[in-house]
Protein backbone atom coordinates (compact mmCIF):
# COMPACT_ATOMS: atom_id res chain seq x y z
CA UNK A 1 0.00 0.00 0.00
CA UNK A 2 1.26 3.51 -0.76
CA UNK A 3 0.60 6.72 1.14
CA UNK A 4 -0.18 10.03 -0.54
CA UNK A 5 3.46 11.10 -0.08
CA UNK A 6 4.73 7.87 -1.61
CA UNK A 7 2.34 7.69 -4.54
CA UNK A 8 4.06 7.31 -7.89
CA UNK A 9 3.69 9.95 -10.56
CA UNK A 10 0.45 9.67 -12.50
CA UNK A 11 1.87 9.73 -16.01
CA UNK A 12 -0.42 7.81 -18.37
CA UNK A 13 1.35 9.41 -21.35
CA UNK A 14 4.85 8.50 -20.14
CA UNK A 15 6.29 6.24 -22.79
CA UNK A 16 9.67 4.63 -23.10
CA UNK A 17 12.00 6.97 -25.01
CA UNK A 18 15.37 5.64 -26.06
CA UNK A 19 16.90 7.33 -29.09
CA UNK A 20 19.96 6.41 -31.13
CA UNK A 21 21.88 3.15 -31.16
CA UNK A 22 21.52 0.60 -28.37
CA UNK A 23 24.49 -1.48 -29.51
CA UNK A 24 27.91 -0.64 -30.95
CA UNK A 25 30.71 -3.04 -31.75
CA UNK A 26 30.08 -6.70 -31.05
CA UNK A 27 30.92 -7.72 -27.50
CA UNK A 28 33.72 -10.19 -26.94
CA UNK A 29 32.77 -13.44 -25.22
CA UNK A 30 34.11 -12.28 -21.85
CA UNK A 31 32.23 -8.96 -22.12
CA UNK A 32 29.03 -10.79 -23.00
CA UNK A 33 29.44 -13.07 -19.99
CA UNK A 34 29.99 -10.09 -17.68
CA UNK A 35 26.94 -8.37 -19.15
CA UNK A 36 24.67 -11.39 -18.74
CA UNK A 37 25.80 -12.27 -15.23
CA UNK A 38 25.90 -8.65 -14.09
CA UNK A 39 22.39 -7.85 -15.30
CA UNK A 40 21.09 -11.03 -13.69
CA UNK A 41 22.41 -9.84 -10.32
CA UNK A 42 22.19 -6.06 -10.48
CA UNK A 43 19.32 -5.08 -12.80
CA UNK A 44 16.64 -2.87 -11.27
CA UNK A 45 13.16 -4.38 -11.72
CA UNK A 46 10.75 -1.69 -12.86
CA UNK A 47 7.54 -1.96 -10.85
CA UNK A 48 4.12 -2.36 -12.39
CA UNK A 49 2.23 0.86 -13.20
CA UNK A 50 0.85 2.38 -10.03
CA UNK A 51 3.44 0.80 -7.74
CA UNK A 52 6.46 2.46 -6.16
CA UNK A 53 10.01 1.21 -5.76
CA UNK A 54 12.00 2.22 -2.69
CA UNK A 55 15.57 2.42 -4.03
CA UNK A 56 17.07 1.57 -0.64
CA UNK A 57 15.55 -1.90 -0.94
CA UNK A 58 17.66 -2.64 -4.02
CA UNK A 59 20.92 -2.97 -2.11
CA UNK A 60 22.14 -5.93 -0.04
CA UNK A 61 22.91 -3.75 2.98
CA UNK A 62 21.72 -0.47 4.41
CA UNK A 63 22.90 2.64 2.54
CA UNK A 64 22.97 6.19 3.85
CA UNK A 65 21.91 7.80 0.57
CA UNK A 66 20.92 6.86 -2.97
CA UNK A 67 22.38 8.59 -6.04
CA UNK A 68 21.28 8.22 -9.66
CA UNK A 69 23.38 8.60 -12.82
CA UNK A 70 21.44 9.08 -16.04
CA UNK A 71 23.26 7.73 -19.08
CA UNK A 72 26.57 6.68 -17.50
CA UNK A 73 28.45 6.02 -20.75
CA UNK A 74 31.45 3.81 -20.04
CA UNK A 75 30.74 3.85 -16.31
CA UNK A 76 34.03 5.40 -15.18
CA UNK A 77 32.38 8.14 -13.14
CA UNK A 78 29.77 5.89 -11.56
CA UNK A 79 32.29 3.22 -10.57
CA UNK A 80 34.66 5.80 -9.10
CA UNK A 81 31.86 7.37 -7.05
CA UNK A 82 30.69 3.96 -5.82
CA UNK A 83 34.21 3.05 -4.76
CA UNK A 84 34.78 6.40 -3.03
CA UNK A 85 31.40 6.30 -1.25
CA UNK A 86 30.76 2.70 -0.15
CA UNK A 87 27.86 3.73 2.09
CA UNK A 88 25.99 5.33 -0.82
CA UNK A 89 23.84 3.21 -3.12
CA UNK A 90 24.21 4.28 -6.75
CA UNK A 91 21.81 3.44 -9.56
CA UNK A 92 22.85 3.94 -13.16
CA UNK A 93 20.57 3.98 -16.20
CA UNK A 94 22.11 3.26 -19.60
CA UNK A 95 20.33 1.65 -22.57
CA UNK A 96 23.55 1.36 -24.62
CA UNK A 97 24.72 -2.25 -24.33
CA UNK A 98 28.44 -1.55 -24.69
CA UNK A 99 28.35 1.07 -21.96
CA UNK A 100 26.49 -1.30 -19.66
CA UNK A 101 29.09 -4.02 -20.26
CA UNK A 102 31.87 -1.53 -19.48
CA UNK A 103 30.33 -0.49 -16.16
CA UNK A 104 29.66 -4.07 -15.12
CA UNK A 105 33.32 -4.88 -15.78
CA UNK A 106 34.30 -2.05 -13.40
CA UNK A 107 31.84 -3.36 -10.82
CA UNK A 108 33.26 -6.87 -11.04
CA UNK A 109 36.91 -5.80 -10.95
CA UNK A 110 36.39 -3.47 -7.97
CA UNK A 111 33.96 -5.82 -6.22
CA UNK A 112 31.38 -3.09 -5.74
CA UNK A 113 28.19 -4.12 -3.96
CA UNK A 114 26.57 -0.67 -3.91
CA UNK A 115 25.72 -0.40 -7.61
CA UNK A 116 22.47 -1.26 -9.38
CA UNK A 117 21.66 -0.71 -13.05
CA UNK A 118 18.75 -0.08 -15.40
CA UNK A 119 19.20 -0.90 -19.09
CA UNK A 120 16.29 1.33 -20.06
CA UNK A 121 14.84 4.84 -20.10
CA UNK A 122 15.79 6.62 -16.86
CA UNK A 123 12.46 8.45 -16.75
CA UNK A 124 10.58 5.23 -16.14
CA UNK A 125 12.47 4.71 -12.90
CA UNK A 126 12.19 8.34 -11.84
CA UNK A 127 8.42 8.11 -12.17
CA UNK A 128 8.30 5.06 -9.87
CA UNK A 129 10.52 6.37 -7.07
CA UNK A 130 9.11 7.76 -3.81
CA UNK A 131 9.24 11.50 -3.31
CA UNK A 132 12.52 12.83 -1.94
CA UNK A 133 14.30 9.49 -2.26
CA UNK A 134 17.46 10.61 -4.09
CA UNK A 135 20.28 12.72 -2.66
CA UNK A 136 22.17 13.35 -5.90
CA UNK A 137 21.68 12.93 -9.65
CA UNK A 138 24.15 13.10 -12.52
CA UNK A 139 23.76 13.76 -16.25
CA UNK A 140 27.26 13.79 -17.73
CA UNK A 141 28.00 14.48 -21.38
CA UNK A 142 24.60 13.42 -22.72
CA UNK A 143 23.87 13.21 -26.42
CA UNK A 144 23.36 16.90 -27.36
CA UNK A 145 21.01 16.21 -30.28
CA UNK A 146 22.28 19.35 -32.04
CA UNK A 147 19.66 19.57 -34.81
CA UNK A 148 16.70 21.76 -33.91
CA UNK A 149 14.19 19.11 -34.91
CA UNK A 150 15.80 16.74 -32.41
CA UNK A 151 15.85 19.09 -29.41
CA UNK A 152 12.76 17.35 -28.05
CA UNK A 153 14.94 14.27 -27.59
CA UNK A 154 17.22 16.03 -25.13
CA UNK A 155 16.92 14.71 -21.61
CA UNK A 156 16.65 18.13 -19.98
CA UNK A 157 13.04 19.15 -20.57
CA UNK A 158 10.45 20.64 -18.23
CA UNK A 159 8.59 17.33 -17.96
CA UNK A 160 11.77 15.45 -17.05
CA UNK A 161 12.78 18.10 -14.56
CA UNK A 162 9.37 17.63 -12.92
CA UNK A 163 10.16 13.93 -12.43
CA UNK A 164 13.64 14.69 -11.16
CA UNK A 165 12.46 17.40 -8.77
CA UNK A 166 9.93 15.03 -7.26
CA UNK A 167 12.52 12.31 -6.66
CA UNK A 168 15.26 14.56 -5.26
CA UNK A 169 15.37 15.56 -1.61
CA UNK A 170 15.37 19.27 -0.74
CA UNK A 171 18.99 20.36 -0.85
CA UNK A 172 19.96 17.49 -3.17
CA UNK A 173 22.33 18.19 -6.04
CA UNK A 174 21.82 17.70 -9.78
CA UNK A 175 25.09 17.73 -11.74
CA UNK A 176 25.26 18.21 -15.49
CA UNK A 177 28.36 18.28 -17.69
CA UNK A 178 28.68 18.95 -21.41
CA UNK A 179 31.30 20.08 -23.90
CA UNK A 180 28.68 21.41 -26.33
CA UNK A 181 27.87 25.09 -25.77
CA UNK A 182 24.41 24.75 -27.27
CA UNK A 183 23.52 22.05 -24.77
CA UNK A 184 24.96 24.04 -21.88
CA UNK A 185 22.85 27.05 -22.84
CA UNK A 186 19.79 24.82 -23.28
CA UNK A 187 20.28 23.28 -19.84
CA UNK A 188 20.71 26.63 -18.11
CA UNK A 189 17.60 27.95 -19.82
CA UNK A 190 15.45 24.91 -19.04
CA UNK A 191 16.56 24.58 -15.43
CA UNK A 192 16.28 28.34 -14.98
CA UNK A 193 12.61 28.11 -15.92
CA UNK A 194 11.94 25.44 -13.31
CA UNK A 195 11.05 26.67 -9.84
CA UNK A 196 12.45 23.60 -8.04
CA UNK A 197 16.10 24.21 -8.93
CA UNK A 198 18.73 26.88 -8.43
CA UNK A 199 22.14 27.14 -10.10
CA UNK A 200 24.86 26.94 -7.47
CA UNK A 201 27.56 28.85 -9.38
CA UNK A 202 28.70 32.16 -7.92
CA UNK A 203 31.32 32.86 -10.58
CA UNK A 204 32.94 31.43 -13.74
CA UNK A 205 35.38 29.30 -11.75
CA UNK A 206 32.45 27.33 -10.37
CA UNK A 207 31.49 25.89 -13.75
CA UNK A 208 34.78 25.84 -15.64
CA UNK A 209 36.34 23.04 -13.60
CA UNK A 210 35.20 19.88 -11.86
CA UNK A 211 35.02 19.82 -8.09
CA UNK A 212 37.41 17.44 -6.31
CA UNK A 213 34.65 14.89 -5.77
CA UNK A 214 33.74 14.78 -9.47
CA UNK A 215 35.68 11.94 -11.17
CA UNK A 216 36.66 12.37 -14.84
CA UNK A 217 35.32 10.29 -17.70
CA UNK A 218 36.82 8.90 -20.87
CA UNK A 219 34.53 11.03 -23.04
CA UNK A 220 35.54 14.15 -21.14
CA UNK A 221 39.22 13.41 -21.82
CA UNK A 222 38.50 13.01 -25.54
CA UNK A 223 36.59 16.30 -25.63
CA UNK A 224 39.43 18.18 -23.95
CA UNK A 225 41.99 16.56 -26.26
CA UNK A 226 39.90 17.76 -29.22
CA UNK A 227 40.02 21.33 -27.91
CA UNK A 228 36.51 21.53 -26.48
CA UNK A 229 36.07 23.00 -23.01
CA UNK A 230 33.45 21.28 -20.87
CA UNK A 231 31.18 23.09 -18.46
CA UNK A 232 30.33 21.55 -15.10
CA UNK A 233 26.93 22.69 -13.86
CA UNK A 234 25.63 22.10 -10.36
CA UNK A 235 22.03 22.72 -9.40
CA UNK A 236 20.42 22.48 -5.97
CA UNK A 237 16.93 21.19 -5.32
CA UNK A 238 15.12 23.97 -3.46
Does 51 belong to an annotated binding site?
no
Q: What are phi and psi of 232, to 5 degrees?
A: -120, 105
Does 143 belong to an annotated binding site?
yes
User: If we measure between CA atoms, which residue out of 128, 85, 101, 121 comes closest to residue 42?
Assistant: 101
Q: Tell me how far apart the alpha carbons of residues 95 and 6 are, in angstroms, rounded to a whole number.
A: 27
Does 219 belong to an annotated binding site?
yes
Write down the catalytic residue from 113, 120, 143, 162.
Answer: 143
Q: Tell me how far apart the alpha carbons of residues 192 and 17 are, in angstroms, rounded to a whole number.
A: 24
- In the DSSP assignment, the letter for residue 203 is S
Q: Is there a catalytic annotation at residue 120?
A: no
**Are the C-beta atoms of residues 39 and 104 closer than 8 Å to each other?**
yes
Does 11 belong to an annotated binding site?
no
Q: Tell me how far apart the alpha carbons of residues 115 and 113 are, in angstroms, rounded to a whole number.
A: 6
Does 202 belong to an annotated binding site?
no
- Print the SS3 string covering 63-83: CCEEEEEECCCCCHHHHHHHH
Render 21-55 in DSSP notation, one character per residue.
-S--SPPPHHHHHHHHHHHHHHBPPPPPTT----G
b/e for 11-47, b at 16 or more Cβ within 10 A?
A: beebeeeeeeeeeeeebeeebeebbeebeeebebebb
**Are the C-beta atoms of residues 236 and 171 closer than 8 Å to each other?**
yes
Does 147 belong to an annotated binding site?
yes
Binding residues: 69, 94, 121, 143, 147, 179, 217-220
Annotated binding residues for S-adenosyl-L-methionine, as ranges?
69, 94, 121, 143
* Residues designated as active site: 143
| Known binding positions for substrate | 147, 179, 217-220
Amino acid sequence: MTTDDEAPVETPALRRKVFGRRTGHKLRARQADILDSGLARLAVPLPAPGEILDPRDLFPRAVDEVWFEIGFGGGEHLAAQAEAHPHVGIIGAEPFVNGMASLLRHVEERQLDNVRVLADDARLLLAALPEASLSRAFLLFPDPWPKSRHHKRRFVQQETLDLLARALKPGAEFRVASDIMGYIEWTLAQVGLHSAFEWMAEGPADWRARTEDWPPTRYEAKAIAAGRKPAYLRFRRR
